Amino acid sequence: MSETQDPDRSTTDKLADAAASAAHAAKDAVAGVAHAAKDAAGGIRIPGAPGSEPPTVAEPTEPREPLPPKPEQQAPAPVSPTGRDTGAPPDARAQDGAYLTTAQGVRLYDTAHSLKAGARGPVLLQDHHLREKIMHFDHERIPERVVHARGTGAHGVFQSYGNAAPVTRAAFLAEGAETRVFVRFSTVQGSRGSADTVRDTRGFAVKFYTEEGNFDLVGNNIPVFFIQDAIKFPDVVHAVKPEPVREIPQAQSAHDTFWDFVSIHTEAQHHTMWLMSGRGIPHTYRTMEGFGVNTFRLVAHDGATTLVKFFWKPRLGTHSLVWEEAQLIAGADPDFHRRDLYDAIEAGALPQWELGIQTFPDTEDQMFHGIDLLDPTKFVPEELAPVQPVGLLTLTGTPTNFFAEVEQVAFHPGHLVPGIDVSNDPLLQGRLFSYLDTQLTRLGGPNFPQIPVNRPHVPVNDMLRDGFHQDAVHVGNASHYKPNSIDGGCPFTIGADGGGYVEVPEPVAASVKERRAPESFDDHFSQARMFWLSMTPLEQEQIVQAYTFELGKCYEQAVKERQLLALANIDPELCRLVAQGLGLPAPEATIPLADDVVVSPSLSMIGKAWPTDGRRIGIVADESSDLDGVRELREAIDAAGMVPLVIAPHGGMLGDATGAPLPVQRTFLTARSVELDAVVLAGAPAPGPDATPAHDAKAGGDPKTPSVDPRVTMLVAEAFRHSKAVGAWGAGSAVLAEVGITGPGVVTGDSPAAVLEGVRELLAAHRVWERFPVRV
């Protein structure tokens, strides 16, 4: 008997084996991706190449077929609009042929000049190519999502551990099941062109292409929501969106209408507390937790039901930005989260999350330890109901075409499969209407499930016909109504025993028709207080800073005072510190404080060590630096699964014919510490010829070390201020000492290997948190 078949091994050991097996399988499946495009200079893969082949300097003139996608790119499965496997290659939907054509396939000899009556004459109405080209261009844009407009997505695979089988009949959660997925991450409030790093809730939506049809798990990175009833969804969104008179601010909650709403509508206080924490500014999507938010119902093979909440636990841990860092990134690289996700996949540092479930008895009152499971503004601490991992999600491919996949993917909480049903959560019930309804205008009608990224990977026979953008060619005279005999009675229905979806026959208690919430929904402050008390002093300091900043941006004094009243009902110290920053008196609580709160240590993001896959380390060097040491360090960083970025005074290469040249990824002009997780100095670069305020404002000020490029000292000081690891060897160590970069998290040594060892240990904790002073 093999080790994995040993009946004496614990369930935990078997789950660990299943997780490790799934992780290795996902890594092996794309092992070629990380090897496919090593840079010629050093054999190290630096992500970001725009195409699958490097371009030539001269414009190509020899006709050839379109270039293939890059190795890490994936496309939706080549299935028909009705779910049939076409057997076509993955790129079958891509443009074809070496020559430019019209949309009708007619080859063209020119696309740079309109058809005119003479070289200087008027353009002719008969120019069919001009009309077609401009017409299509004028209609390229579709309405963006009302919320979650700013997002990004990727393809992947989900591998089940099998341990959820006792509580659900869902086939994709059976032992050994492997399911293709498409995942979309997003911000909530901003427009499609807004920045990634704003303070906001993030969407975390997963489409499972299961053997029983598509299942969508549509969640957020915060386990609770602003509202308890979906009828208030337009109110909270209108409040947080740009104010309609001036259409500002974009993608920000730091304005009057948002705080006016949440300070009156106090059921939003719990979600707002999470938003003011580091959860509101995640470091990357790869280090962001996900939650299903609402309570669902699992259905076992024997019909037994269990209430459930879904979780996504990132393998790299849950980490955040610091506020100044988030603001700087929004200007320096507003696509930071999108770029990080795609660069990580391209580099072979495949993002992974475990799907976890909290399960609860499906009792008549649907309560658990006094927590109403139908209240979406409440969560159940993991200390009361541990999260059980049930499978591994690995993102394995970037989109082949962003619009076709990320923009056109459509999620809906009502896309369910046998074994999963909804609860009576009033927010979820409203989402079941809204998510379907919103696709009609955005995607041009009811046939959006036929868009390739939305197509199920199983046979579809739905009796739905016609409409805009109908891509299926249905057959039969009676296949669109039921009952019929003309088409042999097809399609037929099937019961649960045959795999049909049957709703749980939940008893409905005798009641009256009314607009009212249950009394258990009335508590708006105790869980916000629990969250606050569960934070470390450093995290509490960050929350204070966030509230002070956001309210400090409000114009109306009454809005600030009203929100301080809400904070007084959560915690008097929190209220006092925020009031101090606003220059206002701290009010007394208007209700008794929740004094029976039990803290939940699992809520804190600080204090654990995590893998460092995909972390970016900047190596600062110039021609006078220890370039042999830089080569050694670069190779060691790559071997450790991280990304080395050489930062130099100029682009191109460092080094001469005496050694292998080093490719430069960033210059002192283009680099900024906020895109790096750590900085290592390989020398003391002298000021470059462009190190003047007129050419680069970062070179301004009164340098402490005139012999070193001021942009280098600024880079290091900024990284140090944001509590990132800083390292150096040789002449670089002296630079750190001269500019006062000392203390915790500063690693110096005699060799690059020794420095990297210390830096990597620090990166496992994400930041050097002890650098931050706290008052709380």
Q: Per residue in 75-106, pLDDT tens?
A: 999 999 999 999 998 888 889 999 999 999 99
Domain CATH code at residue 546: 1.20.1370.20
Same structural domain, 422 and 563 = no
Chain centroid offset of residue 538 CA: 25
Classify residue 280: in a domain, yes or no. yes
C-alpha R_g of the chain: 28
CA angle 391, 392, 396 (to 5 degrees): 150
> Using CA atoms, how far apart are residues 387 and 405, in angstroms rounded to an integer?
31
User: For the chain, what is the domain count?
Assistant: 3
Classify residue 258: in a domain, yes or no. no
* Last residue of one domain, picked from the residues 407, 425, 454: 454
The dihedrals phi and psi of 673, each to the nearest 5 degrees, come to: -60, -25
> Using CA atoms, how far apart are residues 524 and 226, in angstroms rounded to an integer?
11
Domain CATH code at residue 748: 3.40.50.880
The b/e string for 724-747 (b: 16+ C-beta within 10 A; e otherwise) is: bbbbbbbbbbbbbeebebeeebbb
Bridging pattern class, strands 213-220 and 202-210: antiparallel
Helix, strand or coil for residue 355? strand
Chain centroid offset of residue 236 CA: 22
pLDDT tops 90 at residue 632: yes
Rounded to the nearest integer, the mean pLDDT of the chain is: 93
pLDDT tops 90 at residue 678: yes
Distances (CA, A) of 353 to 197, 285, 350, 596: 21, 11, 10, 34
Percent of the chain scoring above 70 in pLDDT: 94
Task: Judge whether 710 and 698 are in contact, CB under 8 Å.
Answer: yes
Distances (CA, A) of 81 to 456, 469, 470, 525, 740: 8, 11, 9, 49, 64
> Using CA atoms, how far apart are residues 345 and 578, in angstroms rounded to an integer?
41
Same structural domain, 533 and 440 = no
**Would you list the DSSP string of 675-707?**
G-SEEEE-S-PPPPTT-STTT-GGG-S--S-TT
Classify residue 55: in a domain, yes or no. no
pLDDT tops 60 at residue 34: no
Domain CATH code at residue 374: 2.40.180.10
pLDDT tops 70 at residue 177: yes
CA angle 773, 775, 776 (to 5 degrees): 120
Active site residues: 148, 220
Classify residue 108: in a domain, yes or no. no
Same structural domain, 696 and 598 = no
Specify the higher pLDDT residue, 663 or 23. 663
> Using CA atoms, how far apart are residues 324 and 329, in angstroms rounded to an integer?
9
What local confidence, expressed as pLDDT, does residue 526 receive? 97
Classify residue 30: in a domain, yes or no. no
pTM score, two decimals?
0.94
Task: Judge whether 168 and 300 are in contact, CB under 8 Å.
Answer: yes
- Please give the residue range of the domain that contains residue 735: 616-771
Q: Name the residue among 702, 706, 701, 693 with its Cα closest to residue 738.
A: 706
Please report how many Cα atoms fall inside a 13 Å half-sphere around the Cα of residue 425, on the Cβ side.
30
Provide the pLDDT confidence category of residue 774 given band limits of 50, 70 and 90. Answer: confident
What local confidence, expressed as pLDDT, does residue 40 receive? 43
Task: Report, as an integer, the average pLDDT of 465-471.
Answer: 94
Amino acid at 113: H
Same structural domain, 539 and 632 = no
What local confidence, expressed as pLDDT, does residue 24 receive? 58
Residue 506 token pair: 């939940």
* Last residue of one domain, picked from the residues 422, 454, 486: 454
Same structural domain, 549 and 682 = no
Cis peptide before 456 (omega within 30 of 0): no
Task: Report, as an integer, the average pLDDT of 699-715.
Answer: 86
Alpha helices in 376-425 (DSSP H): 402
What local confidence, expressed as pLDDT, does residue 219 receive? 98
DSSP designation for 405: I
pLDDT tops 70 at residue 11: no
What local confidence, expressed as pLDDT, does residue 2 receive? 36
- Reduce the secondary structure of 282-345 to three states and give it as a string: ECCHHHCCEECCCCEEEECCCCCEEEEEEEEEECCCCCECCHHHHHHHHHHCCCHHHHHHHHHH
Same structural domain, 547 and 439 = no
Same structural domain, 646 and 527 = no
Phi-psi sector, 445: left (phi>0), alpha (psi -120 to 50), beta: left
Same structural domain, 649 and 587 = no
Q: Is the dihedral of CA 79, 80, 83, 84 positive or negative?
A: negative
Same structural domain, 644 and 676 = yes
- The region of weakest confidence among 186-200, 215-229, 231-245, 465-479 is 465-479
Classify residue 305: in a domain, yes or no. yes
CA angle 739, 745, 748 (to 5 degrees): 65
Cis peptide before 483 (omega within 30 of 0): yes
Sheet containing 678-681: order of strands: 666-667, 643-648, 616-620, 678-681, 725-729, 746-749
Same structural domain, 167 and 272 = yes
What local confidence, expressed as pLDDT, does residue 41 receive? 45
pLDDT tops 60 at residue 32: no
What local confidence, expressed as pLDDT, does residue 658 receive? 65
Same structural domain, 214 and 178 = yes
Task: Report, as an integer, the average pLDDT of 413-430.
Answer: 97
pLDDT tops 60 at residue 340: yes
What local confidence, expressed as pLDDT, does residue 229 receive? 96
Chain centroid offset of residue 246 CA: 30
Residue owning tokens 């509580």: 167
Classify residue 67: in a domain, yes or no. no
What local confidence, expressed as pLDDT, does residue 494 receive? 93
Classify residue 95: in a domain, yes or no. no
Bridging pattern class, strands 616-620 and 643-648: parallel
> Using CA atoms, how far apart are residues 542 and 322, in angstroms rounded to an integer?
8
- The region of weakest confidence among 11-15, 436-440, 616-620, 655-659 is 11-15
Same structural domain, 621 and 564 = no
* Last residue of one domain, picked from the residues 577, 603, 629: 603
Cis peptide before 249 (omega within 30 of 0): yes
